[in-house]
Structure 1
Amino acid sequence: MAGVRTQDNGDGDPRRAIELLWGVPGAPRRGPKPKLTTADVVQAAVALADADDIEAVTMRRVADHLGVSPMSLYTYVPGRAELLDLMIDHAHGELTAPEPGLGWRAALTAIAEDQWALFHRHPWLLQVTTSRSALGPHSFAKYERELSAVEGIGLDDVEMDAVAGLVTGLVRTTARSSLDNARLVRASGLTDAQWWERAAPVLAGIPAADAAHYPIASRVGQAAGEAHNAAENPAHAFRFGLARVLDGIEALVSERQQ
């Protein structure tokens, strides 16, 4: 994913995107019954993005995938920007609600784990901006579940929104690192451990890089490397960071209750 330009999907027609997301019918069309549905187009676009990346999703490529002419796709979606909105909401439809009866901490953990898995199934979600996505039903349901997890625990509405943003932001950041690491392994053919086996002797032969000059970095780096068998472990960073975020929320709530 590194080197792939982030795709902006907020420059389309928000009115038409929202209508498509919520199933509001457009103007009546004359002529034969369409061969496809908007859902067919979205699923084809998602399949292309999953197989390659978001840059593979062009109207021409989607049309080729479906065996139709590029111009015919505009029967179903106004353009690529609106298609990205539909793809994001489609992917959010795979997210599930936490089990009933969980406490807020366990519920947020389940939500974060679900999103972590979603990014690994659909890495292209990290290649699109979401601040101006036209919210569809699945994206609204996602936000509703995040807020429901902390409803009534002592936070005001702005703080509840901030908590949802903290959790989802952590998941996005660490999932990006995880996917970047996986891409590096595929591209180089070397695991992190194998790469460091090659790099370590070179560093050892450079006096300025001696552990005596950087005693804390050397000690901690060695301990972390041995624990993770890699320079970094995004999955560990995700779960460690999530626990610390939840600790902070718990401390805030406890303080309010005193």
Structure 2
Amino acid sequence: MPTERTSSGDPARTLQLLWRDAPAAPDRRRGPRRGLSIDAVIDAATAIADTEGLDALTMRRVAKDLGVVPMTLYTYVPGKAELLDLMLDAAYARMPRTDTTGRPWRQRVTALAEENKALFARHPWAATVSTARPPLGPGQMAKYEHELSALDGLGLTDVEMDDCLAHLLAFVQASARAAADARAARHDSPMNDQEWWEANAPLLARVLDEKTYPTAVRVGAAAGAAHGSAYDPDHAYAFGLERVLDAFAALIDRGTGG
């Protein structure tokens, strides 16, 4: 399945819409028409994506939910590519931002991770979108400014600050996608993880020879017993975040001579 990407539409038109520096809506003197706004279109599209995923999101579907014909919608947003940028930037703008002033840097960075984890929990589709070319709207820029403040004053160079933030956000996004995959697997199966492993234990015992795979069998059994399954999203997130913070600590200590 192709990955949805930000900034894949008309860049000039997208920036106009993101910063609301766009031409006015069509002249309404031609006849009665239900009043719309860009924000109403964004909200309707986001509601569809939140409940049904991006595959269900089409301009026609958004128009239907808003009670207008598709051509009316196109007078507000040129297409789905631009609409996706608007949706993501709006989600960024509405993110709660934790005031971590005066807290230790590990607590500040952990708060950033939790904020983004919560974003992907509210909008699972956002974790599936590639932002290699980010939509540079007001929501994106406010988010970036807020997040950089957690890394400022730690002895990192500007490039290192950006690198650390990008690494943290990539980790959280990957964790969110893995957690969504695990939820989908549980939803699609009549058995939970423990029941699945118990049902398949006899077959696995026959094919997984302890003499051939001694380390894999030993470690896999220990991990399965500890987590109740082969993969525990919450444990993986907590463990991974600590390792990310440890790596940042090494970089910060090197930069400050600690």
Query: Are positions 1:84 and 2:84 aligned together?
Result: yes
Q: Following TM superposition, by how much is the alpha carbon of 1:27 offset from its aligned partner in structure 2, in angstroms?
A: 5.1
Cα distance in structure 2, aligned partners of 1:34 and 1:257: 60
Deviations 1:164-204 (A, max 9, x none): 01100100111111000100111112211111112211111
- Where does the alignment leave 5 or more consecutive residues of structure 1 unmatched? none
Worse-superposed segment, 221-230 or 39-48: 221-230
Letter in 1 for 2:251: L
Q: Following TM superposition, by how much is the alpha carbon of 1:64 offset from its aligned partner in structure 2, in angstroms?
A: 0.5
Cα distance in structure 2, aligned partners of 1:9 and 1:167: 19
CA 1:71 to 1:124, structure 2 compared with 1: closer, same or farther past 3 Å?
same
**TM-score, normalization: structure 1?**
0.92
2:23 to 11, 26, 34: 26
Letter in 2 for 1:85: D
Contact 1:112–1:168 (8 Å) recurs in 2: yes
Number of the residue aligned with 2:3: 6
Number of the residue aligned with 2:234: 235
Q: Following TM superposition, by how much is the alpha carbon of 1:244 offset from its aligned partner in structure 2, in angstroms?
A: 1.0
Contact 1:120–1:179 (8 Å) recurs in 2: no
CA 1:41 to 1:172, structure 2 compared with 1: closer, same or farther past 3 Å?
same
Secondary structure of the residue that 2:103 maps to in structure 1?
coil
Contact 2:25–2:76 (8 Å) recurs in 1: no
Alignment of 1:59-78 (within 5 A): 59-78=59-78
Number of the residue aligned with 1:252: 251
Q: Percent identity?
A: 47
Secondary structure of the residue that 2:156 maps to in structure 1?
coil
Number of the residue aligned with 1:138: 139
RMSD: 1.6
Worse-superposed segment, 147-156 or 214-223: 214-223
Number of the residue aligned with 1:151: 152
**TM-score, normalization: structure 2?**
0.92
Letter in 2 for 1:54: L
Number of the residue aligned with 1:176: 177
Worse-superposed segment, 36-45 or 219-228: 219-228
Cα distance in structure 1, aligned partners of 2:39 and 2:117: 25
- Where does the alignment leave 5 or more consecutive residues of structure 2 unmatched? none
Number of the residue aligned with 1:37: 37
Cα distance in structure 2, aligned partners of 1:231 and 1:54: 29
Letter in 2 for 1:16: R
Q: Following TM superposition, by how much is the alpha carbon of 1:225 offset from its aligned partner in structure 2, in angstroms?
A: 0.9
- Count residues in correspondence: 253
CA 1:115 to 1:62, structure 2 compared with 1: closer, same or farther past 3 Å?
same
